[in-house]
Structure 1
Amino acid sequence: MNTAPDLAMSTAIAATDQTKAAAAPRIKLLSHGFSIDHPDPEIGEQLMANALGAADRESMDGILRQLVRASVSGGSPDEVNVSFMISMVKSIRPRDSVEAMLVAQMVSVHVMAMRCAHHLANAEDLARHDSAARALGRLTRTFPTQIEALNRYRSHGEPAITVQNVSVGDGGKAIVGNVTQHASVIVSDKRPASAARKARKAAGSKRGTDSADARREAEA
């Protein structure tokens, strides 16, 4: 007896396989360093490079070593921390070497900030409390600065422009509020409007002069 294939099941299996293939492999810490935990070393390196936004094997290896060192907890690298950091880098999706370095710094700063928060919560004396609080404050101020730098780099350095006052002509429409965008902005020239006001004023003055002349002629 022939049965029709379950298309929904096939699609689900295919999607699961694609997810596994695209997922970044884990790092296995060794006594002499670390290795990429994947059954196929070549595919594992390619997946890791894609996750980190690394252009080649050397840059991937360098960023991985830096992340491993930044993951240190209790005097030795922490495998769970490394996996978390790689996952966060992958989720931000660095697109080139500059973004790869910046995102690695962002993730490292976050991990250090959380470590300082832990020290602050468990400080046993005032000196340790103040030290952890100062370090946490500096790190939490650094993180949004890094986010801003990444956004600015991704927008090719175009400054944000805020438009607050907008003149609207007859039949036009206006947006009430501030409008901010990272793009080229066309700035309207206010001189034509000024010229129009002057023209209307001159026309009104001329009409007043004509009326006065007409009254004088009538009286004569």
Structure 2
Amino acid sequence: MAEIAQAEANDLGVKLSGSASTGHKVEVTLENAFCRIFGTPDPKQAEALLGQCLKALKADEASDDHPGHDERIFMLSIIRDLAPRDAVERMLAVQMAATHVATIRSARWLAHTEKIPQVQAHYTGFNKLARTFAAQVEALRKHRTGGKQTVVVQHMNVSDGGQAIVGNVQHGGRASDE
């Protein structure tokens, strides 16, 4: 698991170590790595977005002391893969990554709970987070497409003895003899 995270960190051009209590150490191995990850030309904005990612994580999810729970590189790789194009997409990508981590955290809590009131509480939290993530995905889709949806409805009736052509039919002029 740690090897995968390290390989991903190399692809991103960053290495994060430390913890919230000892301070996070950020090592950049590719020029403008955070600007590329967050899709911004502004290094200060990229730094602020990184800080917001770290704030969304529990102590054991952003610490060298718990490498199996460390979500720092995962969050950055998801944001990079979402390829934010503007400020709205950058903020939404950070929220989506944080919501996904929280959803998985909630699922873990739900899986390790046996008392009915706790199960109900964790199930409710998990359900709300999963719905929030779906809403975020839809918001990103709408933002990217300008809210336009394309719906194609096809219906065809062919009477007895009739013939139908399925596909795109183009009407053109006369064919050339050449």
The 3 A distance-change label for structure 1 pair 39 and 102 is closer
Q: Decide whether the 8 Å contact of 1:55 with 1:97 is kept in 2.
A: no
Q: CA RMSD in A?
A: 3.1
Q: Percent same amino acid at aligned positions?
A: 26
Cα pair 1:117 1:136 within 8 Å, conserved: yes
Q: Distance in 2 between matches of 1:59 and 1:166?
A: 54
> Could you tell me which amino acid in structure 1 is paired with residue 145 of structure 2?
S
Pick the aligned partner of 1:129 from 86, 94, 119.
Answer: 119
Q: Deviations over 1:95-121 (max 9, x none)?
A: 222111111111111100000011101
Cα distance in 1, alignment partners of residues 97 and 25 from structure 2: 20
Runs (5+) with no aligned partner, structure 1: 1-18, 176-220
**Deviation at residue 78 of structure 1 after TM alignment:** 3.7
Of 58, 62, 68, the residue aligned with 2:44 is 58
| Residue 141 of structure 1, CA deviation | 1.3
Q: Point out the structure with the larger helix share.
A: 1
Within a 5 Å distance, the mapping from 1:70-219 to structure 2 comes to: 70-74=56-60, 77-78=62-63, 80-165=70-155, 173-175=165-167
What CA deviation, in whole Å up to 9, does each residue of 1:76-103 have, x standing for no partner? 7346211111111112211222111111
Determine the C-alpha separation between the residues in 2 that align with 1:78 and 1:120: 23
TM-score normalised by L of structure 1? 0.58
Gapped regions of structure 2 (runs ≥ 5): 1-7, 65-69, 168-178
The one-letter code matched in structure 1 to 2:48 is G
| Alignment partners' CA distance in 2, 1:119 and 1:22 | 31
Aligned residues: 151
- Pair 1:59–1:167, CA change in 2 (3 A): farther
Matched, 1:23 2:18: no
Q: Tell me the alpha carbon deviations over residues 20-57 of structure 1, each in whole angstroms, 9 at most, x when there is no partner.
A: 986331223354643421368xx2xx111111223412
TM-score, with structure 2 as normaliser: 0.71
Q: Which has the larger radius of gyration?
A: 1
